[in-house]
Structure 1
Amino acid sequence: MNDYDCFNWGGCVRIASYNIRKAVGLDWRRDPDRIVDILGEIDADVIVLQEADKRIGTRAGVLPLDRLESELGYIMTDVSLRPLSHGWHGNAILVRSCFADHLSERIELPMVEPRGAVSVRLEHPDLEVIGVHLGLTPGMRRKQMCALQKVLADRDHPVLLAGDFNEWNAARFPFDAPVTVVSPGLSFHAKRPKVAFDRFVLGPGLRAETAYVHHSALAKKASDHLPIVIDLAFTGIT
């Protein structure tokens, strides 16, 4: 995109999801600028992040917000409860600064460990993107996905779920038509990917034009997950 134009993908919106592991790479260095460089490679309109905050102390966010805005044109949506956090339970969402008209919220999920979902609804185009990072046990993940399925059913506008579902078995996804689960490919472990933990779930009115795992040299060492990307087209809700 030139000059960070919004909604400029031939009628598509590009969404990315990335578990950044608090910006700690496979070399065990915390390198936030490396994450920013990868986000620049992807060039998405909306980016949902998992593990964007530290887990202890003030739960401070790990990314350089000034660089994200000045170089890439991104702003962090307001979903945090703590003053230094980027997100809620580590879940955060970046949007192009040209998407000035948006609403953000936190979505409660069943949980034992700290988990939840965060949402941003764009005005133009009318689209809600929900970022998720689900639990570590199969039973809790299913409860969380059932809760998210109810969220999708209650919406009267296009909704996309994106994130780290922590689910090895695609057969355990409870989403039914007209909802579509899109698995772009193997995204974990970044060094030698064998599992598709990271996925998209498309509600009515949406279609995947392309979906893929971002395999760059930087991405292969910046986190234990690889980013996933989808170019999203609108089909209308019936």
Structure 2
Amino acid sequence: MIRVCSYNIRRGLGTDRRKKPERNLGVIAEVSPAVVAIQEAGREVASLCGNYRWREGRAYSPVRLDEAEDGVSWRGNMLLVREDVTLYQSTCVALPSVNEPRGAIIAELSYGGSDFRLVGMHFGLRGEWRHRQTQFIIDHTDVLEQQRPLVMLGDLNEWNTRTGCLHRFAARHNVVAPGPSFHARWPMLPLDRIITSAEIRVEGAGVHVSPEARLASDHLPVWAELELPA
């Protein structure tokens, strides 16, 4: 069983208007996922990771990205992996967009003896571009040389499951709805999602709510417990 998490941290700016990215790391520690996809990340998150006082055996490291200028964040996307997760490789892709650069990180990972592919992504604010970004991700992952169990997660800026980009994902994948994650003070919109390929069993999912999470960002983190095929 693996726990994954998606978290838009708004570059560490909390709902109290204070920029304290170390609070976001504290929230991640509360969720305790094996892998977390972060959106709106700044390089300070990576530098804080090394000195943060994680619980023993629960330390996280940012995935190194050759395409990123700072080595760890691609168009605001970042992946943190726990010590017990093996990283084989990572790549960055630019998503179709106009006037709001969007991207995704694709990582080849292993946990508990099971290999899987994870995509961390952040979609745009305009519905027409979210449709294009969805199709791009589907097409891109379809043609990768070796197919693996697939986990896609991030802030999709979408709540409509009938006609929006979530509907397109649902045609072939399992779209998990952890619950309303925005706004952190009064969660009403399920903007953050976790999507899996059919062979992955979803054992549970939810939105992490705590006093620290309500302060640390305008989004609450979402998580899912997944059973990967052996």
Quick check: TM above 0.5?
yes
2:67–2:91 contact (8 Å) kept in structure 1: no
* Residues 27 and 80 of structure 1: CA distance in aligned 2, closer, same or farther (over 3 Å): farther
Q: How many residues align?
A: 219
Specify the alignment match of 1:169 in structure 2: 160
CA distance in 2, matches of 1:62, 1:214: 20
TM-superposed CA distance for 1:203, in Å, is 1.1
Q: 1:86-105 deviations in whole A, cap 9, x for unaligned? A: 31001000011233442111
Runs of at least 5 residues in structure 1 that lack an aligned partner in the other structure: 1-11, 54-59
Of 197, 201, 204, the match for 1:210: 204
- Three-state SS of the structure 2 residue aligned to 1:170 is coil
Which structure dedicates a bigger proportion of its chain to strand?
2
- Three-state SS of the structure 2 residue aligned to 1:175 is helix
- TM-score, normalised to structure 2's length? 0.88
Alignment of 1:1-238 (within 5 A): 12-53=1-42, 60-63=43-46, 64-68=48-52, 71=55, 72-79=58-65, 81-84=67-70, 86-112=72-98, 113-123=100-110, 124-154=113-143, 156-171=147-162, 172=164, 173=166, 174-235=168-229
TM-superposed CA distance for 1:82, in Å, is 4.5
1:104–1:118 contact (8 Å) kept in structure 2: yes
Cα RMSD (Å): 1.9
Q: Percent identity?
A: 34
CA distance in 2, matches of 1:44, 1:208: 15
CA distance in 2, matches of 1:102, 1:51: 24
Paired letter, 2:19: R
- TM-score, normalised to structure 1's length? 0.85
CA distance in 2, matches of 1:28, 1:80: 33
* Residues 176 and 17 of structure 1: CA distance in aligned 2, closer, same or farther (over 3 Å): closer
TM-superposed CA distance for 1:62, in Å, is 3.7
Runs of at least 5 residues in structure 2 that lack an aligned partner in the other structure: none
1:17–1:229 contact (8 Å) kept in structure 2: yes
Q: 1:59-84 deviations in whole A, cap 9, x for unaligned? A: x4445021358654111001264553
* Residues 153 and 68 of structure 1: CA distance in aligned 2, closer, same or farther (over 3 Å): farther
